[in-house]
Structure 1
Amino acid sequence: MKKTLIPMVLSLSLLLSACGGGDPDPTPSSSPSPLPTASATPSPTLETIPPDYDGPVNPLTGLPISEEWVNRRPVAVMLNNLKEALPQLGQSQADIIYEAPAEGGITRMVGIYQSLENVGTIGSIRSARPYYLELALGHDAVFIHAGGSEDAYAKISQWGVTSLDGVRGTYLGSSENSNLMWRDPVRRQSYALEHTVVTTGEAIIQRLPTYDIRLEHEDGYTYQMDFVEDGAPTDGTDATEITVPVSTYKTGKFLYNEDTGRYAVEEYGSAYIDGNNGQQVEVTNVVVVQTTIRNTGDALGHITVDLSSGGSGYFACGGKITELQWSKRSPSGQFYYTDANGQPIQFGVGTTYVCIVPTSCQVSFS
């Protein structure tokens, strides 16, 4: 039986805005163009630690990783999620995917990558808002984006964000692989121009050392995420299907796959596809963060997302779901998650998807 956890979602009656960098967002279409054909077959790769492994692990997933990447600052990439811009590229290789609303009820993602090894094309890359900056700062990450609201640009300076910007910065090339970012020539044939900015893992690896930025975490930096082989909450309720209606425009679903031990992700009524391989994205952990989201009242329809006051939410892993409490002490603070007893959440070894939604959002499961 389906169970409703919190009250009915209130649609955000917001206008879409133009990005501060002169990169306008199209209004969500009631009849979006068809998505490119892709396979909904999930990746067969299991997210597990080999028996007796005692080597370095990725601090964002608990999985094995090359020693050289363990103390690196991760890279956070701002990802477009408008229907007309799908499929996204390379998001299935992110260690953590954050999804949060933007204007008009649409959402965007921030993909966090601890290692860029063997990561293909990433995109399409879009513009920032202040709360997306907070997500990157929470990981001490290098932030890659293409444009931003005027408030985001002000906060980049105020908060000391390591920002690599493809609009007001010098990081967008005129041809493929000519810079950190470029407009993909294939996407330019069938997508609006604002949906064409991409990068690759290799481009990031090659170019980051040439910039005057810090590449390693400072001494003593630690993550507040703990991983265990079986992260299913012991007090959890069965949840093989989780529905998260962020707004009237976007609803996400997470379907538990017993064969892989992960949740297959859906959005807009279809599989959430990585355009690099045509496969459906799967994650080990699903987190729902409830918070206050308000319209700023400006002419561009911008919103504010409160990531500093803390609140409640949900954690799912291994086909089970439970309530959590979250906190984030400052723009640069990490998310800290605890269970109903105040104990830190233990994540299952593997990737994580974090949905940031209004407090009014109706989350249901069955």
Structure 2
Amino acid sequence: MAAGLVATSCAVTDDGGEDEARSPFTGEAVEPGPVLAVKLDNAPDARPHTGLASADIVYATQVEGGLSRLTAIYSGDLPAETGPVRSARESDLQLLRTFDDPAFAFSGARSAVLPLITQSPVEAVTPESAPGAFFRAEDRSAPHNLFLRPSEALDDAPGASDASDVGFRFGEAPEGGRETNEETVRFPSASFGFAWSAEDGAWRVSMDGSPADDTAAGQVTAATVVVQYVDVHDSQFPGTPFTETVGSGDATVLRDGRAHDARWTRNSTADGTRFTGDDGERLNFATGPVWVVLAPA
């Protein structure tokens, strides 16, 4: 695909012809399907994850006590299972509007947040609405043992939007940047590490100093890592932080063993997020899974 082109359900080549279908989330040649977002536990007792390596996009966000949780985005190719699944937060709704009306699987939420979820365009999928899509793993302890069957979750969300442009661009690597073998992003009580592996052609992910493993795929990797610096402030619910993903700010984009300074912009909840380089042009991601760490500015 030509540098800087958006990956859509039908990518356009330089000569004006049509190429094979490509994911707007990864740039890979795959037919995009309905979008499923899954809220994943990330406490040490919740690891290793299942299905995390299959996610197109993974968002890492701060929750209570400075800890972290993950939101895995799937479309097209689905894992048989994913989890452990945990509860939703108010700021998830702002983030997920970039995917139009996605299916959103989670285990519950505080009572005051549930009406906000009901009023939002997301297609909520819960153990109550889709009991057959969830199951408890016998080798895990509650609350870290709730898992999801993604295909059955989507059966409960027939109105989920198909994957579409969320602002990512894929193509040739931008010029410049600095060479780096490893980057660490810290939350108050959590950390994420990304080590470049020439062997994998990707960044090997670690969490809190240990490899981020998937029960089926081994260590999780990302083709592109975005460290997006955002405003994290108190939400309207005491003790719960709110991560602002509308606005603008600084970012660092990791790809191909290099770190590139960037700016991010998202004008409204209905918009995707644009990432631009020092020259003001859209900054291309490497083809493959994308991790976005929403780090406190």
What's the TM-score once normalised by structure 1's chain length? 0.71
Partner of 1:171: 130
Deviation at 1:322, TM superposition (A): 1.3
2:143 alignment counterpart: 194
Match of 2:14 in 1: none
Structure 1 residues 222 and 164, CA gap change in structure 2 (3 angstroms): same
Q: Which residue of 2 aligns with 1:25?
A: none
- Alignment partner, residue 91 of structure 2: 131
Paired residue total:
279
Residues 124-175 of structure 1: per-residue CA shift (max 9 Å, x gap): 0000112222232212321111111345323223332211122xx3223xxx
Q: 1:105 deviation in Å? A: 0.8
Query: Is the counterpart of residue 57 in structure 1 residue 16 in structure 2?
Result: no
Deviation at 1:344?
Answer: 1.0
Q: Is the 8 A contact 1:130 1:151 kept in 2?
A: no
How many angstroms apart in 2 are the aligned matches of 1:154 and 1:309? 25
Counterpart check, 1:272 vs 2:212: yes
Structure 1 segment 148-167 matched on structure 2, within 5 A: 148-166=109-127
Aligned pair 1:213/2:158, yes or no? yes
Q: Distance in 2 between matches of 1:296 and 1:144?
A: 22
Identity %: 24
Unpaired runs of 5+ residues, structure 1, are 1-52, 173-178, 360-366
Deviations 1:95-135 (A, max 9, x none): 11100000001100000111244x13200000011222223
The answer for the alignment partner of 2:275 in structure 1 is 337
2:13 counterpart residue number: none
Give how far 1:297 is off.
Answer: 7.8
Q: Residues 269-290 of structure 1, C-alpha deviation per residue, up to 9 Å, x if partnerless?
A: 111111234x111111010111
The correspondence of residues 251-330 of structure 1 with structure 2, limited to 5 A, is 251-277=191-217, 279-296=218-235, 299=238, 301-330=239-268
What is the distance in 2 between the residues matched to 1:62 and 1:93? 14
* Structure with the greater alpha carbon radius of gyration: 1
Change (3 A) 1:159 1:333: farther
How far 1:222 moved relative to its partner? 3.5
**2:167 matched to which residue of 1?**
224
Query: Structure 1: how far apart are the matches of 2:276 and 2:213?
Result: 31
Q: Work out whether residues 121 and 276 of structure 1, in 8 Å CA contact, stay in contact via their aligned partners in 2.
A: no
The offset of 1:329, in angstroms, is: 2.4
Query: Aligned partners of 1:108, 1:333: CA distance in 2, in Å?
Result: 23
Structure 2 gap ranges (5+): 1-17
Where in structure 2 are the equivalents of 1:41-190 lying within 5 Å?
54-65=19-30, 67=31, 70=32, 72-117=33-78, 119-140=79-100, 141-166=102-127, 169-172=128-131, 179-187=132-140
Q: Is the 8 A contact 2:35 2:162 kept in 1?
A: no
Q: Check whether the contact 2:63–2:240 (CA below 8 A) recurs between aligned residues.
A: yes
Q: Is this contact kept in 2: 1:129–1:151, CA < 8 A?
A: no
Is the Cα contact below 8 Å between 2:105 and 2:124 reproduced in 1? yes
SS of aligned partner of 1:195: coil
| 3-state SS of 2:23 partner | coil
Deviates more, 1:260-269 or 1:98-107: 260-269
Partner of 1:238: 179
Aligned equivalents of 2:248, 2:114: Cα separation in 1: 25
Partners of 1:151 and 1:235 in 2: CA distance: 47
User: One-letter code of the match for 1:290?
Assistant: Y
Distance verdict in 2 for CA 1:316–1:145, change over 3 Å: same
Partners of 1:180 and 1:125 in 2: CA distance: 12
Q: Distance between the aligned counterparts of 1:152 and 1:341, measured in 2?
A: 41
Quick one: distance in 2 between partners of 1:212 and 1:260?
35
Q: CA RMSD in A?
A: 2.1
Return the offset for 1:328: 2.0
Name the structure 2 match of 1:27: none
Give the C-alpha shift of residue 202 in structure 1.
Answer: 4.1
